[in-house]
Amino acid sequence: MTDELEARCARAVHVITPEGDVLSGGRASLYVLERVGWRRFAVACSRPPLVWLVEAAYWLVARNRGLLSRLAG
């Protein structure tokens, strides 16, 4: 793992697909959802403008995970 990738992984989840593509953030989350059985939902949310909303939601949650953890108990 390169230093750059390590720094990026500290900010967002990353997935490396079997094809070698590196996905991060909301797109990585959608990829995982597709693989665990939520294919229709993931495919629908992977298209603009929904993918932009997924990325924005991921960004908000990732930046505020400490607060969200305290609120969730």
Q: What is the band of 36 on the pLDDT scale with cuts at 50, 70, 90? A: very high
Asked if residue 11 lies in contact with residue 62, where contact means CB atoms within 8 angstroms, the answer is yes
Chain center to CA of 55: 7
Q: What is the pLDDT of residue 2?
A: 84
Nearest to 54 by CA among 66, 62, 46, 64: 46
Strands (DSSP E) contained in 1-73 are 14-16, 22-24
Residue 58, pLDDT above cutoff 80 = yes
The model's pTM is 0.83
What does 42-72 look like in DSSP terms, one character per residue?
Answer: HHHHTSTTHHHHHHHHHHHHHHTHHHHHHHH
Distance (Å, rounded) from C-alpha 56 to C-alpha 66?
17
Q: What is the pLDDT of residue 64?
A: 92
Query: What does pLDDT average to over the chain?
Result: 93
**Structural domain harbouring 35:** 3-72
Residue 51, pLDDT above cutoff 90 = yes
Give the total number of structural domains in the chain: 1
